Amino acid sequence: MNLREQQAAETRQRFIDAAFELFSQQGYGASSMNQIAKAAGGSRANLYLHFRNKPDLVLAKMQAIEPDIIVPFRRLFESAPHDGESIRAWLEQVRDIFLEFRVEFAAVEQAMSEDEEVAAEWLGMIRRMSYSLPGLAENRQRLQDFVSLLMSLDRNYYFLYVRGHRDNEDFVLEALTRQWLTLFSDHRPA
């Protein structure tokens, strides 16, 4: 990467960081492209050279964190067989991801409610993840179960860890442990 490309990448990252800081402070809907440019110490014209709109900023962040999100799922599938203890430990690893990316998940959630492009990318990420994990693509029922479990996990963890409603955390984690364990049962039709 030459100096010019490095400077462009740094500028682009400054805009993304400023956007997510604003999304965290005042919400996705209330944050304008003008405010993002100003918060990043740049101009609107420069911001628009890098991003067409707010969904583009969110999509860039989603693409950047996708590999980190997929890692614990790969580990889960690569380390089978499982019991309740290993599933619970895995759920705690996923919890750590949700806590690490709490600001990003909150912004993505807000953006999905306003922008179809962001919602489509979230579904695309689920699809890519589903087809990249061993034993899912060739087993339709297991694939369906995985997608359903993943969407349930996302909703539960959104409220527990992104929104901070942890009153019934153990109750929810016990249920999720049982549910995810069924995905690794040896008695599954092909």
Tens-binned pLDDT, residue by residue, of the chain (190 aa): 899 989 989 999 999 999 999 999 999 999 999 999 999 999 999 999 999 999 999 999 999 999 999 999 999 999 989 999 999 999 999 999 999 999 999 999 999 999 999 999 999 999 999 999 998 999 999 999 999 999 999 999 999 999 999 999 999 999 999 999 999 986 444 4
Amino acid 113: pLDDT: 95
Give backbone dihedrals phi and psi of 22, rounded to 5 degrees, phi first: -65, -40
Q: How far apart are CA 125 and CA 130, in angstroms?
A: 8
Q: How far apart are CA 74 and CA 41, in angstroms?
A: 39
Domain with CATH 1.10.357 in the chain: 53-190
Burial level of 4, CB count in 10 A (0-12/13-18/19+)?
exposed
Amino acid 190: pLDDT: 45
Do 67 and 56 meet the contact criterion of CB atoms below 8 Å apart? Answer: no
Q: How far apart are CA 60 and CA 21, in angstroms?
A: 15
Domain with CATH 1.10.10.60 in the chain: 1-51
Confirm or reject CATH 3.30.450.20 for domain 1-51, answering yes or no: no
Amino acid 1: pLDDT: 80
Amino acid 186: pLDDT: 63
Do 36 and 15 meet the contact criterion of CB atoms below 8 Å apart? Answer: yes
Do 151 and 126 meet the contact criterion of CB atoms below 8 Å apart? Answer: yes
Q: Residue 21, CB half-sphere, CA atoms under 13 Å: how many?
A: 12
Q: What CATH number belongs to 53-190? A: 1.10.357
Do 133 and 146 meet the contact criterion of CB atoms below 8 Å apart? Answer: yes
Do 112 and 53 meet the contact criterion of CB atoms below 8 Å apart? Answer: no
Helices vs strands, H then E, count in the chain: 9, 0
